[in-house]
């Protein structure tokens, strides 16, 4: 009986440094294709597909149980990519969901522009804070729209944090 085929992970970036970084993070549980452009990746994949025509397709594994991150009335269902405020759905883009998930994972912690960018976009932070600021602006509007008491606060020149609002209380009072 043939074994399941190895998964193929394709990463396209023109940066040799980024390709080296990705290769260093790969756990070796499949085939990693690092290509400088889509044409090179497509050419390799066509050759790979031609040589693997008789390889059986792996059956999908069951989805993991739904992990839910909660901050007050905010709930993020990670595996379903759904966000709600007291049960009312929030229509979020993938980037908005990833940034909000990062902030909600540790409410009160200041996340730098670089940390938020790398978490949401998965790449090197080179473009400056504009992309993160744009996502934060849209998230704030969507939270206001549903009357959420949680808010996203800026730490000038550093980044952002999620403020849990009056629904959350301190677990341990600050030392005096």
pLDDT at site 105: 87
Angle at which helices 130-145 and 94-105 cross, to 10°: 80
pTM over 0.75: no
Q: List the CATH number of the domain containing 114.
A: 1.10.10.10
Please give the Cα distance from 138 to 8 (Å, whole number): 35
Pairing of strands 151-155, 111-112: unpaired
- Examine the domain organization and report whether 92 and 19 are in the same domain: no
Residue 1 falls inside a structural domain: no
Residue 63 falls inside a structural domain: no
- Examine the domain organization and report whether 100 and 138 are in the same domain: yes
Q: Which tokens is 4 given?
A: 């399941």
Q: Which of 78, 88, 85 is nearest to 119 (CA)?
A: 78
Which ranges constitute the DSSP H helices of 13-169?
16-25, 38-51, 94-105, 113-121, 130-145
For residues 75 and 115, the answer to whether their CB atoms sit within 8 Å is no
Summarize pLDDT for 73-83 with one digit per residue, the tens: 999 998 889 99
pLDDT at site 54: 44
- Examine the domain organization and report whether 79 and 108 are in the same domain: yes
Query: pLDDT in tens for each of the 176 residues of the chain?
Result: 455 566 777 777 777 777 677 767 666 666 777 777 777 667 666 766 665 544 444 444 444 556 888 888 999 998 889 999 999 999 999 999 999 999 998 888 899 988 898 888 887 666 678 889 999 999 999 999 999 989 999 998 889 999 876 554 434 444 44
The single-letter DSSP state of residue 39 is H
Question: No. of H helices and E strands in the chain?
Answer: 5, 9
- Examine the domain organization and report whether 21 and 103 are in the same domain: no
Residue 56 falls inside a structural domain: no
Q: Which domain holds residue 34?
A: 8-51
Q: Which of 146, 134, 143, 147 is nearest to 162 (CA)?
A: 143
Q: Which helix (H) or strand (E) holds 8?
A: strand 8-12
Residue 37 falls inside a structural domain: yes
Task: Count up the domains in the chain and report the number.
Answer: 2
Residue 30 falls inside a structural domain: yes
- Examine the domain organization and report whether 47 and 79 are in the same domain: no
Residue 3 falls inside a structural domain: no
Residue 99 falls inside a structural domain: yes
Residue 173 falls inside a structural domain: no
């Amino acid at each position: 009986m043939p074994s399941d085929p190895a998964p193929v992970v394709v990463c396209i970036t023109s940066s040799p440094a980024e390709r080296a970084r990705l290769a260093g993070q790969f756990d070796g549980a499949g085939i990693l294709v690092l290509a400088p452009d889509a044409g090179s990746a497509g050419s390799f994949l066509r050759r790979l597909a031609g040589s693997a025509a008789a390889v059986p397709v792996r059956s999908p594994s069951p989805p993991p149980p739904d992990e839910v991150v909660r901050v007050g009335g905010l709930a993020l269902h990670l595996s379903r990519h759904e966000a709600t405020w007291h049960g009312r759905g929030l229509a979020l883009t993938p980037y908005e969901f990833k940034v909000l998930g990062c902030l909600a994972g540790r409410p009160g912690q200041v996340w730098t522009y670089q940390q938020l960018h790398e978490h949401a976009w998965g790449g090197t932070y080179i473009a400056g804070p504009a992309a993160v600021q744009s996502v934060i602006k849209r998230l704030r509007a969507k939270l206001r729209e549903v009357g959420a008491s949680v808010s996203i606060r800026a730490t000038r020149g550093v980044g952002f944090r999620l403020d849990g609002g009056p629904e959350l209380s301190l677990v341990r009072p600050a030392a005096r």
